[in-house]
Chains A and B, each alone.
Chain A
Amino acid sequence: MSPTKSAPDVSPTRSAPDGSPTRSAPDGAGPAEEPRHLDPSLLLVLTLLTAVMLQGPIRRALAAPVMQSWMTVFVAVVVQALPFLVLGVLLSAAIAVFVPPSFFARALPERPVLAVPVAGAAGAVLPGCECASVPVAGALVRRGVTPAAALAFLLSAPAVNPVVLTATAVAFPDDPRMVLARFVASLLVACAMGWLWHRLGRADWLRPPSRPVPGGRGGGAAFWGSVRHDVMHAGGFLVVGAMAAATLKAVVPAEWLSAAAGHPVLSVLALAVLAVLLSICSEADAFVAASLTQFSLTARLAFLVVGPMVDLKLFALQAGTFGRAFALRFAPATFATAVAVSALTGAVLL
């Protein structure tokens, strides 16, 4: 697939050099029809130096309280997610380079219908938040794991691992059933989405991630190439997601929430939407849910189930890894399934 497809927009910081007319091509050395390339490294240096020179005006422009808290939340989301992203990227590179495809063929049941729950349960072994699971799921698909199973893993890993479940238990000391409900509901949604993909999914929605083929190169080169590619790729989308989350955090007024809290159906939907907008990492969302005391336990369960599976940051990451056509279909379907399953689980267990 052409790489232009995956490049939706130009960074605002760089639009000026991009469109600048300074590229007067003629040059003694090269042939006339061969344009000089604007050296990206040079561009990076120029951008950084310009920003350093203009730091006084930039700081003044950002001094408004809204801008400051926007920046703080933006930086916080990136700083929080980056270590987990790097962890996931290292793991996914190790899977992609050092684990032979035959391993997954043996480890997973041959029939996709059975492979889905096995992969979903295997999500319990990846301790981390959702940023780590996206690159790992991408590596699984590349390693020949059936997409349905990889997607079940993608959804379940951030929600059912021991770290997240422990955090949930700590956050809800009075309601230990919350942990069970979260585990059951998340696993159910992951399997349901895996089976749904198996029945309805089409391979052409899923863009196989483009990457340098490690043809003939050693393991080290392939490993670091994969790490570099994934960090650059997913990192860019992480920044997009962080910007969206910071904007919504600054814009959405808290009063709307208390208005929705009283209504049983509306409260579930409100917290599910809030989980999407806030994009809190799955290791922390339990504490936030615990503080939303005006909402019912079922509504808070929806918050905990939806958050690790669909949010702005994840959507951007998924679009970057699997393609926009995939993310546009997968995220809404997951959202609907997650809300329905949490409502049911909440009715039964809580």
Chain B
Amino acid sequence: MNRSTRSTRNVRVRPNRQAQAALLFLLGATVLHAGWTDLHLRYVKAGLRPLLLLSGAALIATAAATVWYERRHAPPEHHPEHHHPDDLPGDHHPEPRVSWLLALPLLALILVAPPALGSYSATHTGTALQEPLGFPDLPARGPLRLGVGEYAARAVYDDGRHLRGRPVTLTGFVALDGSGTPYLVRMTLNCCAADAQPVKVALTGGVPPVLQPDSWLELTGTYTPRRTKDPVNDGPVPYFEVTAARPVPPPADPYDDTGAG
């Protein structure tokens, strides 16, 4: 853009009304798509869904209104051949070029659809285990199916009172820390993936010999009082004595819905 003839002879690459309408429509459609399918669960909490759908619809409505008013109000001499481009009646303030950046999240969502945060973030962030307010009663006997966060909280802060001597089933993804120690991890979200934090459970016992980071496993095993410390933030990490492991597909909501608090 540093040619001498700056004003009119330059290629104007600011989005005009039509390009804006196209961009708004695509953005709205992408947001609607992400909200309609389970895609949004990779990035935000399920509770944001109605707002996502609403804003997607609002973006599409804006695109439609832009096209509609552009056609209705466009005067007949609205042609670059006849006028100095900056004098166009409907085009006094072309949007800044930074608006084009809106195409980036669009492309990222359509083309790449980045996966939910996995073992990379988990091993670089300390465990976010916090003492819960209380421990609701569990069924007195029989096998248990618990979230990773709930198992960790009961194991660390409740001394595994209801967990002893019974089979427990956990679902999470595998993460290996720098020294190769295997963990079963579930990330917890408060709002969006930017604040995601892991809750980790270290594995012992019949751990499968080959563990692929980020692969999802359903582990059955028992409580063990053994504890360790997270190498990142010294947070408490309980152990889990594995007896059986079964690979499972990633769940629709990859984050722990029990929350960290």
List chain A positions with a Cβ less than 8 A from chain B: 3, 6-11, 13-14, 17-18, 23, 29-31, 33-35, 37-41, 43-45, 47-48, 51-52, 55, 58-59, 62, 65-66, 68-69, 71-80, 82-87, 90, 170-171, 173, 210-213, 217, 220-221, 224-225, 227-229, 231-233, 235-237, 239-240, 242-243, 245-246, 249, 253-255, 258, 278-281, 283-285, 287-288, 290-291, 293-294, 320
Answer yes or no: B244 CB below 8 A from chain A CBs: no
* CB <8 Å contact, A7 and B193: no
Residues of the A chain whose Cβ atoms lie less than 8 Å from the Cβ of B48: 79-80, 83
- Is B190 an interface residue, CB under 8 A from the partner? yes
Q: A13-B103, A280-B195 are in contact. Are A232 and B95 (CB under 8 A)?
A: yes
Compute the total of residue contacts between A and B using a CB distance below 8 Å.
281
Contact B190 A76 (CB under 8 A): no
Residue pairs across A and B with Cβ atoms less than 8 A apart, 16 shown, are A13-B107, A35-B11, A39-B19, A68-B115, A69-B121, A71-B108, A74-B105, A75-B43, A75-B105, A85-B55, A173-B261, A224-B65, A228-B24, A236-B99, A291-B197, A293-B130
Please classify the interface of chain B as helix (H, G, I), strand (E, B), loop, or mixed, using the class held by over half of its residues. Answer: helix
Count of chain B residues with a beta carbon within 8 Å of a chain A beta carbon? 87
Does B10 sit at the interface, judged by CB under 8 A?
yes
Is B195 within 8 A of A14, CB to CB? no
Excluding A37-B11, A71-B112, A80-B192, 5 further A-B contacts by CB distance (< 8 Å) are A13-B107, A40-B13, A55-B112, A65-B119, A72-B117
Convert B95-115 into 0s and 1s, putting 1 for each residue whose CB lies closer than 8 angstroms to a CB of A: 111111111110111011011
Q: Are A239 and B120 in contact (CB under 8 A)?
A: no
Is B192 in contact with A284, judged by CB distance below 8 angstroms?
Answer: yes
Which residue from A83, A173, A237 sits with its C-beta under 8 Å from B98? Answer: A237
Which residues of A lie under 8 Å from residue B109 when comparing CB positions?
A: 75, 79
Which residues of chain B have a CB within 8 Å of any CB of chain A? 1, 8-16, 18-24, 26-27, 31, 34, 40, 42-44, 48, 51-52, 54-55, 58-59, 61-62, 65-66, 69, 73, 80-81, 85, 92-105, 107-109, 111-112, 114-121, 124-126, 128, 130, 133, 190-195, 197, 232-234, 259-261
Kindly state the separation between the CA atoms of A54 and B130 in the bound complex, as whole angstroms: 44
| Contact A80 B194, beta carbon cutoff 8 Å | yes
